[in-house]
């Protein structure tokens, strides 16, 4: 049995890459490794899940999996229950990813890894090489993956390959009205006070001449799509790098955003048990208090933030 999957807390780049992989592996079954972000769940509610034949993990005999096709991550600990498949005798592992190499990366029988702004762009290149075409719905989904992971091509991690992929997807019939519907969202009445709390609890640190904002927040229950608030905070306050440590119920989350090369948030999130890329990343932090997590974060910032060149040094 062949399975195509992506990381837990799946996003649009993960979903788009799964659907693209299905075109290269038509006999494989699409299976989410765990939960999905709220915009993705809203998208899947429009019968998309049935259209592509997704199956739930509970309906899969994990011991019968002979080939595991993993997209948008190489970290085994981000596969949820599907990590068990790695112990299957003789299993083939095929990896497709755009994230930098990191400790704990799986090794695959087949590996396609490119430093693009999205894994979707990697798949678009492979599909074009094979002369494949897309249905407009597929092109729209892949455009969503591109726009989400590149910040609509404004993140520093965006590459020419991402822009070339976007142009081709438009030629294939991508609907930008749908892309805009899911990528650009106004804040709800529930989110506005949360954004205010995020701002009120923010502190700015200077690390190697770089200003970094860290906000700590404790909420009684889990809040969907909190990353939208972190991104909005960055834009509103014109911040270069933002780290939000948010305790929701019994779980502690780290959400990171950066738009400068001196702060690679992917490296920091991976050291705290999560993942992502240079501009956007996250982690679920286990067995640490909010205070302990902040101490670790500050230590990692001093360790990984690159010094910003001073004006005098450039003259």
Domain ranges for the chain, please list them. Answer: 2-183, 191-304
CATH says 191-304 is which class? alpha beta
Per-residue pLDDT, 53: 78
**Residues of 57-84 as b/e, b for ≥16 C-beta within 10 angstroms?**
beebebeebebbbbbbbbbeebbbebbe
- Decide if 2-183 and 191-304 have a common fold: no
What is the pLDDT, as a whole number, of residue 137? Answer: 92
Tens digits of residue pLDDT in 219-236: 999 888 888 899 889 988
pLDDT of residue 311: 36
Strand, coil or helix: what is 270? helix
More confident of the two residues 157 and 242: 242
Give the pairing of strands 251-258 and 275-276. unpaired
d(CA 191, CA 229) in angstroms, rounded, equals 7
Bridge partners, 219 (sequence order)? 248
- Rounded distance between C-alpha atoms, residue 197 and residue 216, angstroms: 9
Q: What are phi and psi of 16, to 5 degrees?
A: -60, -40
Measured CA to CA, the distance from residue 80 to residue 94 in angstroms comes to: 17
Reduced DSSP (H G I as helix, E B as strand, rest coil) percent helix, strand, coil of the chain, to 5: 45, 20, 35
The contacts of residue 28 (CB under 8 Å, 6+ apart) are 2, 3, 4, 21, 22, 67, 69
Residue 312: the pLDDT is 37
Provide the mean pLDDT of the chain.
90
Q: Name the band, by pLDDT with cuts 50, 70 and 90, for residue 52.
A: confident
Digit-coded pLDDT (tens) for 143-177: 999 998 888 898 878 999 999 999 999 999 999 99
**Residue 193: its H or E element:** helix 191-200
Burial 205-220 (b: 16+ CB within 10 A, else e): bebeebebbbbbbeee
SS (H, E, C) 119-144: HHHHHHHHHHHCCCCCCHHHHHHHHH
CATH superfamily ID and name for 2-183: inorganic pyrophosphatase (n-terminal core) (3.90.1640.10)
Interval 106-114 mean pLDDT: 96
Q: What's the pTM value of the predicted model, to 2 decimals?
A: 0.78
Confidence class for position 41, pLDDT limits 50, 70, 90 = confident
Query: What is the mean pLDDT of the segment spanning 264-273?
Result: 92
Helix (H) or strand (E) holding 217: strand 210-219
Nearest Cα neighbor of 53 from 89, 85, 27 is: 27
Contacts of residue 129, defined as CB under 8 A and 6 or more positions apart, other chains included, come to none
- In this predicted structure, the answer to whether residue 63 has a pLDDT above a threshold of 90 is yes
């Amino acid at each position: 049995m062949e399975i195509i999957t992506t990381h837990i807390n799946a996003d649009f780049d993960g979903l788009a890459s799964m659907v693209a992989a299905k075109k290269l592996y038509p006999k494989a079954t699409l299976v989410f490794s765990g939960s999905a972000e709220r915009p993705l769940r809203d998208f899947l509610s429009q019968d998309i899940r049935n259209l592509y034949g997704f199956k739930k993990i509970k309906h899969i005999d994990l011991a019968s999996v002979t080939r595991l096709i993993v997209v948008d991550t190489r970290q085994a600990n981000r596969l949820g229950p599907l990590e068990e498949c790695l112990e299957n005798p003789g299993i083939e592992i095929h990896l497709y990813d755009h994230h930098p190499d990191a400790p704990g990366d799986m090794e695959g029988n087949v590996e396609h890894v490119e430093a693009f702004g999205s894994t979707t762009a990697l798949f678009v290149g492979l599909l074009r090489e094979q002369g494949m075409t897309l249905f407009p719905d597929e092109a729209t989904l892949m455009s969503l993956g591109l726009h989400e992971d590149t910040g609509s091509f404004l993140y520093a991690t965006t590459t020419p390959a991402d822009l070339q992929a976007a142009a081709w997807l438009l030629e294939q019939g991508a609907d930008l009205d749908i892309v805009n519907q899911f990528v650009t969202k106004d804040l709800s009445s529930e989110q506005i006070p949360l954004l205010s709390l995020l701002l009120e609890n923010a502190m700015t640190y200077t690390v190697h001449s770089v200003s970094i904002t860290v906000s700590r927040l404790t909420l009684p229950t889990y809040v969907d799509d909190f990353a939208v608030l972190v991104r909005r905070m960055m834009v509103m306050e014109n911040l270069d790098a933002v780290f939000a440590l948010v305790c929701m119920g019994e779980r502690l989350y780290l959400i990171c955003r950066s738009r400068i090369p001196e702060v690679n948030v992917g490296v920091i999130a991976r050291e705290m048990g999560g993942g992502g890329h240079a501009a956007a990343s996250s982690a679920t932090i286990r067995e640490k208090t909010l205070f302990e997590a902040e101490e670790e974060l500050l230590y990692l910032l001093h360790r990984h933030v690159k010094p910003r060149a001073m004006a005098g040094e450039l003259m």
